[in-house]
Structure 1
Amino acid sequence: MVTDSQSGQGENNKTNENGSLPISRRGAMSRLVSLFLFIGFWTGIAYIASFYFLPFIQIKPGFIASALALVGILVAASVIFMVRVTPTGGSEARTLDFQTLIIVVFGTASLLAAGGITALSLKPPLLAGAILGILIIYVITLFRIIRFTFRSDREIEKIRSQYQDLIKIERAKTEFMTVTSHQLNTPLAEVRWGLESLLSAEGIEKENRDMISMILKGVNRIVETVADINKALSQKDKTATDYASELKTVQLAELILEIVNVLGGVAREKNVTLSFEGPEQEIFLGGNKDKLTSAIKNVIDNAIRYTPGGRVIISLRKEGASAIIRVQDTGIGILPEDTPLMFKKFFRGKNALLLQPDGSGLGLFTAREIIENAGGKIDFISTPERGTIFFITLPLKKTA
């Protein structure tokens, strides 16, 4: 028994609705506040360190109390600041997180030790120098974190600007393809009509008729490619919300049977045996019939085109709250290295290019977009030279 494989589609590189680059990081304090804290650290360190060099007679209890209070404020501020400033993601960020923790711990210990030594009126020079050294390391590391944060901000702004430029290029390309594909429709329709008229005319020699038929097939392939481009462009801006607003009750077995009848001619041309195994009971979906028809048709048509002289079997069954459409062929199969790319726009497998060089690479891409917007998923298993099985899972219509 073949089980339905789980869809592993995780393309979640979606942009925000306003087209901004979706970069996630912890928010850093403003540069003014950062600069203020940095200056405050140096001032505080100098203030606390100064009592090592004062005669002990001049040290008053109030001086010690104010120094320890400043210690507490600086440590608390440093913890808050470092946690907020430290970036997330990446090995460098993780290193800075670890350094932040270590430096906060050592900085806190050294500051408290400094206060304790002063309070006990002790002044061992070696220990005093060690504590001051730790304090300097503490501040230097903080400076590195602040500098890294500012540098990251500049890089993010640069990437965001480049991303916006790419969005503009993508929109210009889409607009060009839309205009071009629409302008091709009329002349292609006229050429096809003329060729069909010639084929139906009497008195044309067989050699000329064969040549006209071959030209007509080429024109039909161009028409199909243009239609695929139009479908992909129209689907590009569609969302699940748009799809939900067009829901109607669809009898799935009837829809698949209609597709099988439409593609019967293509199957006969490829010498493919095409069959459909219907379910024992009717299965209803809530969906857009035209879009579902387009998606399922693309998958079945793909199976027929890459199974010359073989068999394509479509089956439908209900499983829990879902309908499972299974499209199995005995065709050329999909190479393992092509498997992760099969639903990419314009992608075509190596063996598919050898069998049919003029495909558009949009059929499976468009099918997946429609199916996922319908709340479903599509996946496949394949063995080169033995065939492929596509699984389309769609949610059933909820009954009251």
Structure 2
Amino acid sequence: MPATRVLVLNSGSSSVKYQLLDMAGPTRLAMGLVERIGEAGARLVHSPTGGERRERQQPIADHEAALRAVEEELAADGMGLDSPELAAVGHRVVHGGQRFSAPTVVDEEVLAEIERLVPVAPLHNPANLTGIRTARSLNPDLPQVAVFDTAFHTTMPEHAARYAIDVETADAHRVRRYGFHGTSHAYVSRRTAELLDRDPADTNIIVLHLGNGASASAVRGGRCVDTSMGLTPLEGLVMGTRSGDVDPAVVFHLSRVAGMSVDDIDTLLNKRSGLLGLCGDNDMREIVRRREEGDERATLAFDVYVHRLKKYIGAYSAVLGRVDAVAFTAGVGENSAPVRQAAVEGLEELGLALDTQLNTVRGDTPRLISPEYARVAVAVVPTDEELEIAAQAYSLVSR
């Protein structure tokens, strides 16, 4: 019987999310989360499909301890890393630079390259590396596959990926637009084409991945031609705690006038900006509630957020020339009808319109929320990054 299962690991700075999928279905066999690694109150939540949810609260010192705890839970269900049905472990790796444009079986050379990229992804790549190394130690014979957030965006033309700074300096320090959330953009763009009953190779789509982190992409014929995040996940849309686009001179100004250090400004733009910085909340549900009650700061935050969305929809309409669909995904994109309505409102000249009733319907399957007459379809497509990582990893090892 061929091995058809893939364990997907997403190792964050203080957490590990995981899912075990059987690609013969595909079906989800188990999922779980280890959070607050290295902190008081660390816990593991494990949910086998069709089984009872289990929770463990115990000291979890580091990612290695976290992954060993995950292995114990999976093994208790007969689905451990030594299972002959397990074909691979698929790892989400945030930054793959220019080199990695496809899923890659990990060896020492690949590990070394991921490590070389730590300076441009200091919060994420180290945790991703720990996840890979620990999984390898638990079963050295099992293929470990790295699936890179940046890979989908490596198809951007050079004129979209380049910043207009000195070329030698940029090349020496790898300064260019890389983009992130690539597995989500790949999955959602393909699923949107399927929803329209069209070939992805003949479909132009704007994908809006709106979670606590947010990014937009312009996808022409299944290939990314532009994206909003850049060298790091800070550029682009307004996010939960990140500023998105700002004048680069803001950094110099705050250094000279406010006496802030580079680290202070880094913290400001990444952790104290975005929706949180504008109104003190980074939960869009709370912001919408406050806005409906007339709260001025919440209204400002909502309006700034939506204004940036409209700018990117317009810009990417120009980049693509012809747009077949705009797809909303991730936590805010999938669940906030007010954000979708405000983002599309006023863009009728671009062919966009919403059906108000369809927009308010909740669901966990891809759906259209635009009227039949609209020239450009508007879709809500729940993302599934774990399934995309599993599919890419399995495709690689099952050849």
Greater strand proportion: 2
TM-score range, shorter chain: under 0.3
TM-score (norm 1): 0.23
Greater helix proportion: 1
